[in-house]
Chain A
Amino acid sequence: MQDEHGIQAEGLAREFKGGIRAVDGIDLQVAPGEIYGFLGPNGAGKSTTVHMLTTLLPPTAGTARVAGFDVVREGAQVRAAIGAALQEAALDPLLTGREHLRLQTALHGMGKAERKRRGEALLERVGLTQAADRKVQTYSGGMKRRLDLALALVHEPSILFLDEPTTGLDPQSRNALWTEVARLARDEGVTVFLTTQYLEEADVLADRVGIIDHGRLVAEGTPAALKAEIGRPSVEAIPADPSERDAVARTLERFGRPVPGSPKGVAVRLDGGEEALADVVRALDAEGLHLAHLQLHAPTLDDVFLAKTGRSLEGAGDELDTEAEPEPVPA
């Protein structure tokens, strides 16, 4: 299933009516078999990029080749080589899951026997065999996403585009989808182009991450390399007495530059790295300041986004809320 070309884009841009440049000259190289995470806030240009790469939307400037084919001049060949699950699962509420697979396989020109074999295999793989004969309007959000993934895979594509595939999913469904995507890349050599606004998703899944903001690629590399660029961790302290916030801030600023923290807290990037934490604790104690909470944060992809754009990544809060994790501290 693995192709030899992957995805290449040069100066890819899309301008909409009114002069809005949703994508503003993106250069991309995604290697065959790689999972590429395309990370950015809502409205950054992620979906527009996917639409151009999947031939749904013609670029207004630049070029792109997918699986070795030009997305403008060789659209049919591109579509034959790719599978795509877009942000909103485009399903017909009047069809059953099995009927969707029948339609999708027929659209790809597969023979009757092949259609049946492939459909049954995919239903089983995404855990929808029991629900296969129910109309899609009775499916949950997670079931629709799984069906959408199965539909994207019917013709065994060499490149898979997933546009925010886990948005709105419960943690269990999200983990199941991550497992399947990782398996596709690892076992079948499928190249995966994944857009997400979830930091953890990009961190867990992607071999490399591209960060997009206002239609421009602002950073690119492996998650580890991007975080290493940021280097130093940050520390956040929440005073037990809110009136002591300024005093805590003055003390912490002796150890590094302030970075955004939670509303009640104070956060700084530690000049001395994590070894400075003990000094911070001693300094706060020496000032007689009492804390409700003290936390050391290793650099995250959100830190990378913050460093590159000057603001925190939207949606990070949603992600953590969904997972019932502690209040986000975008240090």
Chain B
Amino acid sequence: MRSFVFVALAVAWRGVHNAFTNPAILLPSLLFPLFFFTAFAGGLSRVSDVPGFDYPAGYTAFQFVFVFLQSAAFGGVFTGFAIARDFESGFARRLLLAAPRRTGIVAGYALVALVRWAATASVVTVVALLAGMDVLGDPAELAALVVLGLLVNVAAVLWAAGVAMRFRTLQAGPLMQVPVFLTLFLAPVYVPLALLDGWIHAIATVNPATFLLEAGRGLVAGEPVEVAAAFAVAFAAVALFTVWALRGLKSAESAG
């Protein structure tokens, strides 16, 4: 166990150090959510006037929750890019050669994703509050939202790590990103689920991301809904993608 921890901390130190000393690494994961937030919460604010839009905390908070969870998911995917880059450049071999417990490498990358997302989420939250976001949830509900974000982040980085270690090239980037993008955007992003119609409503109803969004929005509004389902989805995703990532590690070990 001790070797697992020191390997994870060493890998995490390097990833965090690189991210915070090289703006080119950190900025994309920071700018994308801010762009989405500005475009959606600002440009689409009249959506809240649509009959049937009954979210009590207002449209800024409605979009904040999406951007908050989207940044968690994409933060994980961006870390997956870094893993693929390490395999492509051969640096991952250094880690595989030195690490007594190689599962610690995966944990280290997950820690990198968490730290990077913590920075992104902080900036997004401050910007949303400055933009006048109403927060009606109590501290416990907001803490639950943060935990939900952490789980989404971990699930996403484990998914991306599994892809990165199977393909070991940056060319696998779209394979990490597109499924996450589709899952997120086939959820009720712009309006509540009840206002969606046709095929998008049918897909959004069964999309696991919908549970996360609905629960997150309920927590910010102080009217929790679907929280248990959302946490079940998040924990299931973490469990599923842990197995996926560890099998990816095995695949990378077999390939040398």
Contact = CB atoms under 8 A, between A and B. Distances in A.
Interface in B168-190: none
A92 B90 CA distance: 9
Interface stretch (B4-12, B116-124, B133-141): B4-12
B127 interface: no
Contact of B18 (A56, A90, A95): A95
Contact of B95 (A58, A88, A107): A107
- Size class of the contact patch on chain A: 20 to 34
B18 A106 contact: no
Contact of B14 (A55, A56, A95, A151): A95
Nearest to A57: B256
A109 B18 contact: no
Nearest to A58: B254
Nearest to B9: A106
Nearest to B6: A109
A82 B97 CA distance: 9
B151 to A, nearest CB: 27
B100 A80 contact: yes
- Size class of the contact patch on chain B: 20 to 34
Interface in A102-126: 102-104, 106-109
Contacts of A79: 97-100
Contact of A109 (B2, B13, B96, B256): B2
A109 B2 CA distance: 8
A92 B101 CA distance: 21
A54 interface: yes
A52 to B, nearest CB: 8
Nearest to A151: B94
A1 interface: no
Q: Which of B18, B94, B253 has the most CB of A within 10 A?
A: B94
Contacts of A102: 13
Contacts of B253: 58
A290 to B, nearest CB: 54
Nearest to A152: B97
Interface in A153-175: none
A240 interface: no
Interface in B97-127: 97-101
Nearest to B5: A109
Contacts of B6: 106-107, 109
B100 A56 contact: no
SS class, residues of chain B in contact with chain A: helix
Nearest to A110: B6
B90 A94 contact: no
A76 interface: yes
A66 B6 CA distance: 24
Contacts of B92: 90
B21 A94 contact: yes
A251 B128 CA distance: 93
B14 A103 contact: yes
Nearest to B100: A76
A84 B100 contact: no
A300 to B, nearest CB: 33
Q: Which of B6, B14, B101 has the most CB of A within 10 A?
A: B14
B10 A103 contact: yes
A104 B17 CA distance: 14
Interface in B126-162: none
A54 B14 CA distance: 23
A91 interface: yes
B3 A88 contact: no
B187 to A, nearest CB: 36
Contacts of A92: 14, 18, 91
A48 B13 CA distance: 31
Contact of A56 (B11, B22, B256): B256
A106 B93 contact: no
Given A95-B14, A103-B10, A106-B13, A56 B96 contact: yes
Nearest to B95: A107
A54 B256 CA distance: 10
Interface of B: 2-3, 6-7, 9-11, 13-14, 17-18, 21-22, 89-101, 253-256
Interface of A: 48, 51, 54-58, 76, 79-80, 84, 86, 88, 90-92, 94-95, 99, 102-104, 106-109, 151
